[in-house]
A and B are shown apart, each in its own frame.
Chain A
Amino acid sequence: DAGITQSPRHKVTETGTPVTLRCHQTENHRYMYWYRQDPGHGLRLIHYSYGVKDTDKGEVSDGYSVSRSKTEDFLLTLESATSSQTSVYFCASGGDSVTDTQYFGPGTRLTVL
């Protein structure tokens, strides 16, 4: 987990409210990622970034948006949270290639009531 932090670590919110999760890395990595982890599904990629202001969709991007205004910060926003977005969210960062080793944050447990 060294070098990558996520905030908040736990959040409970209500359906229909906006939620923003934050990821901060100190490794100067070019690539950053947001995943969600659900029982039976492993990790699924939501969005990723390959540079400041450069982002792309992953496998499960519907209902999520991201922004990256600085190399070290990557934000994940749920515009209007739904119960199906209850999950554990992991941020990761990596180096020169999208398929290089990824370094993961400690995760954020989000519950949408």
Chain B
Amino acid sequence: SQQGEEDPQALSIQEGENATMNCSYKTSINNLQWYRQNSGRGLVHLILIRSNEREKHSGRLRVTLDTSKKSSSLLITASRAADTASYFCATDSGSARQLTFGSGTQLTVLP
């Protein structure tokens, strides 16, 4: 079963706009990670946020974590056509020794 679920499933925006995607999960976590997957490629790690952190930045990426709501959001600012990809959240369930990935948000940035 999937621990993380992304929302929306698909998002289409114009270049220069901000893109926000959300991840909800069910059980307590130690950390939450976001990954990007370009078409036909493997996943690439973007950012990791620990359960005791509320916000983290990396370049044009901003991740928030609300453990009381069991949710996280990924914000990409000033999006570019090259940001077109699928974005996945991944959580560890604390007790299980593995990451669980959501089904992803497909982001399309139109030039």
Q: Which residues of A contact B (CB under 8 A)?
A: 1, 4, 33, 35, 40-45, 48, 50, 56, 58-59, 90, 92, 98-99, 101-107
Contacts and interface: CB of A to CB of B under 8 A. Distances in A.
A101 B33 CA distance: 8
B86 to A, nearest CB: 9
A56 B1 CA distance: 17
Given A98-B92, A98-B97, A42 B104 contact: yes
Given A98-B98, A99-B92, A40 B42 contact: no
Per DSSP, chain A at the interface is strand
Which one of A40, A42, A104 has the greatest number of beta carbons of chain B within 10 Å? A42
Contact of A101 (B40, B45, B101, B102): B45
A100 B5 CA distance: 20
B44 interface: yes
Given A42-B102, A106-B42, 14 more contacts: A33-B98, A41-B103, A43-B88, A45-B98, A48-B98, A50-B97, A92-B42, A92-B43, A99-B31, A99-B92, A102-B43, A102-B45, A106-B41, A107-B41
Nearest to A100: B48
